[in-house]
Amino acid sequence: MRRLVRPGLLMAVWLSLWGEVSWGNVATGVVAVGIVLALYPTGRATHRLHAIGLVVLAGDFALRLIQSSWTIAIAVLAPTPERMRTGVVEFPLRHGSSLVATILADAISLTPGTLTLDVLADPPRLAVHVMGLGDPDEVLAGLRSLEDRVLAAVEPIGAVPDAVGTEEVGS
């Protein structure tokens, strides 16, 4: 019975995301749940999710989207050399968790004006392209703040077996 709890919860989430129970949604849900269970077999948990941290991260991310969209709109409508200045900064990660690195890299890439170019290993770090690059220390402070939010939402537990430091990902 316990073995059915996780697939049942995943299926419930799948159907709630689609908003209705239909044969098509159930069939695609079975495939999706099967893929998730194959990729992430049960075993010792490597991360702890924190509901309040997730809500704070979502709010912070939404605010960052609004601010960066406004900044990019201003740069496009009234370009100046300072607004159009670009650069790449390397951001050292505090934890080697590939899940945390992925969430952070995606949040950076989804924010207008920034793009994660690469996830580097040993030591774990991100290469981030920034439009409107002013003070690199300010950029790093903003990235550190975002990393703090991600770590508060998705806490790595002990040594993470799929750590970023095990191989280099990207080009």
- Region 138-156: mean pLDDT is 92
CA distance 134 to 18: 42
- Region 96-111: mean pLDDT is 88
Give the global pTM. Answer: 0.68
The sign of the CA dihedral 35, 58, 138, 79 is: positive
What stretches of the chain show up as alpha helix (H) in DSSP?
Answer: 5-18, 23-39, 51-77, 81-84, 98-110, 136-153
User: Whose CA is closest to 115, among 106, 98, 128, 104?
Assistant: 128
- Region 101-126: mean pLDDT is 89
- Checking if the pLDDT of 164 tops 60, the result is no
Residue range 70-101, pLDDT digits in tens:
989 998 999 999 889 899 999 999 888 888 99
CA distance 118 to 113: 16
Query: What percentage of the chain carries pLDDT values higher than 90?
Result: 31
Q: To the nearest whole number, what is the mean pLDDT of the chain? A: 84
